[in-house]
Amino acid sequence: NIFNVVPNREYDRVYCGAECSAEHVEHIKKFVKVDGILIIPYNDNLLKLEREIDGWT
């Protein structure tokens, strides 16, 4: 459960299998390392977000 993980821990890859609100997406992004990838359903789309030093692509 993403809401019961160790705070400040970061991962290379994070996959979320359930659609999330914008607020939850921002919370989940905190767990992705720089150069890591987040796969998450949002607004009826499956997003692949890549974290870079200066932001997300």
Residue 33 lies in a domain: yes
Q: Exposed, middle or buried: residue 35 (CB in 10 Å: 0-12, 13-18, 19+)?
A: exposed
Please say if the pLDDT value at position 1 is more than 90.
no
| Residue 30: inside a domain | yes
Of all residues in the chain, the percent with pLDDT exceeding 70 is: 95
Domain membership of residue 41 (yes or no) is yes
Q: Is 39 within the bounds of a domain?
A: yes
pLDDT at 55: 95
Report yes or no on 20 lying in a domain. yes
Domain membership flag for residue 34 = yes
- Phi/psi at 7 (5° precision): -60, 150
User: Residue 8 — very low, low, confident or very high, per pLDDT cuts 50/70/90?
Assistant: confident
Per-residue pLDDT, averaged over 31-52, amounts to 96
Give the residue with greater pLDDT, 6 vs 53.
53
Would 44 be classed as within a structural domain? yes
- Domain coverage including residue 36: 14-56
Judge whether 37 lies within some domain. yes
pLDDT band at 26 (very low <50, low <70, confident <90, very high): very high
Work out how many domains the chain is built from and give that number.
1
